[in-house]
Amino acid sequence: MGSGASASDPKRDTTEETVTREQMREDAAQSTSHQGDRDGGERIVRRDSVIQSENHPVVEDKPIESGETNTEETEEDLKQDQKSQSQGPVPDDASRDEICSPEVSGKPPSVVVDVDSSEASISEKEGNEDPEEIRNSFKTTSNESTIDNEEVPLAFESFLHRNGILYSCFCQHGHRMYVDESKGLVPFPMEWYDEGRFWEMNIDFVTQRVKKVMETLPGLVDQKEIIAALRQCNYDPDEVMSHLEKDRMIEDLKQKLHTKENELEKLFQRNHYLEQDSRYLADVVQHLNQRVAELEADKQEAREKIRALLNRRSTKAPAKLPPKPSVDHEHLRQVSRLTHELNVSTKQLGSTVRHALVDLQNHFQQLRELVEKMTEAEQHRVLEQEEVRSLYMKEALERKTLYNKLLELQGNIRVFCRCRGNTSSNSCLEVSSEQEIVVIQKGGKKKLNFDRVYSPNSTQEQVFEGTVPIITSCVDGYNVCILAYGQTGSGKTYTMMGPKNNPGVNIRSIRELLSICKNRENVTYTLKVSMLEIYNDSLNDLLANNPNNHLDIRTQGKSVTVPGLTQVEVKTEDDILHIMDMGEKNRKIASTKMNIESSRSHLILTLTVVGADGLSGVTSHGTLTLCDLAGSERISKTEAKGQRLVEAAAINKSLTALGQVFSALKCNAIHVPFRNSKLTHLLQPCLCGDAKACVFVNVSPDARNVVETLSTLQFGSSIRQVALGKATQHVTSTPTTKQDK
């Protein structure tokens, strides 16, 4: 849904362009109507613009029926056209679908555009610019978008000229261009706006669905955005409304969460201000207490002075001296005045202290109430946040489930990325989520998406849990293939084999299948295991007494077998451990500069599961192929010499052949080079559309290996787009069961 919306961004169209299109549609409708009356069933040739990229072949032009909008006349013209085509020459690509008019097919034809390999920019300016400059501008924009790995917004349109030709147009960055059969991409002439009409918005099939979406979702008013969404969803309005409604719900929940966070921030600020006021009032009270203490000291000192003055007063008058007053009245009045002032100041200070204490208590009470309210608000926010998170996780789980079902129906290869533990502090990888990993290189970051990303802290149990749904389908009669790919020393063998105390996918898979077979009492299962090694492009049987015996590959139809390969029946877990030990002892390993125990061969473990149901008489045949590929090597880093150099050359050659097979499958090539190496020849039944496939991409986070790590991740991201088709269940019924029925 995201790519469709970005491909037809309505914000790039101006109001002036909208008015011009409305005028153009009216003029084109009148001209087309007159021409249809004159020519009747005139033939229109639609030029589908298909820009060829590295992985997309060019689709040739196909004729379509046009003329008047009468459905019966269009169907008659279509039948006559098909009859004339059947008598003429057969097109080069017979597998291409026949393209008919929108009135007959019920859906408008699609236009395939590969932005990464486009060579021109679409122009919708005044028409006075140099076409060569426009093409150069479009090429520069496309290259920059490809380098930055960003989506290029495109708006697709179909223009019906009054001469009866339907042109495919598309807009990008405000430029409109159309596709000419002889000239390629050509800027759209301004005078054509009065000589035709834009086709898609004049089709009842499209306009009815646009109106339905706009009536259901009144907030959407841009018809081009709705048309882009319909085109992305195969013109299913219910699916468009479902996706848009879900996106709106998620946006509303995010907005509520943001509002609650803002309220919490304001409460924290209010609490901070109250704490500052509390500290200030505490300082005021302390200062007032000090002032009271000082005044008390002054009062005590004044009393001491009065007492001293009273004691100094003579009790007897001198006999010889004239009588004098015993007390100095002036000094006494001054002391009395000071005492009165001191008492008044003491009362005022006491009153001030009492008021300050009352205010302080009130502030503390308000602060306590605010803290309680803030605590309640925090609890309520936490509950709402948990509810929003729960809804988000539920929505994400639902989308992931639907996506997995879609992949299962399409038969896409599931790709899991596992990051090895890093012993150094300099890492070039960041695991941002369970589906995304970021590569850091030369200060830049590149994001890649996979079905699941396992961090260095992921356990063997967690890695195996992601493959259980695929592996267990082997019991039901499906063919399953799991491969481990990556550079040498990235942890492929650890993921597939693992140590004895912490086994990998191989042992856990067989153990899980034994448990499932044991629980199904009505079905009798037989499990047989074989281990094969591809060393220097030769086959070695790891379970045979003489593992160096020469083996060949025999192909009969879609079946690929190895005559003479040893198969051992397993019934218990001890049988599994015994077989694995035997195979590991016979496998070729050696030490290189990159890896002390480097696997010098490809290991293919095949488990055949045959189940016979005694009640229904149905027999299922399933196979589980577990492949531990040898690591790709750079001779400059491993410094391989002699025999190690020969082994490295054979390993890189077979891995290159495997990459060629995936590239051919991705672009739906007619010929897939399975026989370029014995590795791809053996894996042909697993990759030809009859099995479920899963690939582990193992990478090293060490910054010294960033080039190999990025190459491995890009390889895994590329094969994630390979669709093998829906897997086939291999079950047969016995003749006795058919007679009983």
Residue 487 labelled as part of a binding site: yes
Quickly state the pLDDT bin for 418 (edges 50, 70, 90): very high
Residue 611 labelled as part of a binding site: no
Residues 6+ apart with CB under 8 A from 593: 637, 638, 639
Q: What is the pLDDT of residues 471-518, one digit of tens each?
A: 888 888 888 899 999 988 888 889 988 888 899 998 898 888 888 888
Interstrand relation of 444-449 and 554-556 (parallel, antiparallel or unpaired):
unpaired
More confident residue, 690 or 308: 308
Judge whether 741 lies within some domain: no
Residue that finishes a domain, picked among 235, 259, 280: 235
Q: Evaluate if pTM is beyond 0.85.
A: no
The pLDDT value recorded for residue 283 is 92
Residue that finishes a domain, picked among 401, 428, 447: 401
Sign (positive/negative) of CA torsion 209, 213, 215, 218?
negative
Specify whether 455 is located in the same domain as 559: yes
Mean pLDDT of the 451-460 span: 90
Residue 492 labelled as part of a binding site: yes
Residue 446 labelled as part of a binding site: no
Q: What is the pLDDT of residues 143-191, one digit of tens each?
A: 444 434 444 455 567 778 888 888 878 776 667 888 888 888 888 888 8
Specify whether 347 is located in the same domain as 376: yes
More confident residue, 684 or 218: 684
Residue 606 labelled as part of a binding site: no
Cα 605 from Cα 586, distance rounded (Å): 13
Q: What is the pLDDT of residues 424-438, one digit of tens each?
A: 777 888 888 888 999
Range of the structural domain that residue 547 is part of: 411-660+686-733
Judge whether 420 lies within some domain: yes
Q: What is the DSSP string of 104-122?
A: HHSSPPP----GGG-----
What total of structural domains would you count in the chain?
Answer: 3
Residue 127 labelled as part of a binding site: no
Judge whether 285 lies within some domain: yes
Residue 493 labelled as part of a binding site: yes
* Alpha carbon 56 to chain centroid, angstroms: 24
Judge whether 316 lies within some domain: no
Residue 652: enclosing H or E segment and its boundaries? Answer: helix 643-666
Specify whether 86 is located in the same domain as 143: yes
Specify whether 294 is located in the same domain as 208: no
Specify whether 51 is located in the same domain as 124: yes
Judge whether 503 lies within some domain: yes
Residue 488 labelled as part of a binding site: yes
Specify whether 203 is located in the same domain as 300: no
* Alpha carbon 269 to chain centroid, angstroms: 38
- Asked whether 499 and 518 are in contact (CB, 8 A), the reply is no
Mean pLDDT of the 567-592 span: 80
How high does pLDDT run on average in the chain? 74
Q: Is the pLDDT of residue 88 over 50?
A: no
Q: What is the pLDDT of residues 254-275, one digit of tens each?
A: 899 999 999 999 999 999 999 9
Quickly state the pLDDT bin for 51 (edges 50, 70, 90): very low
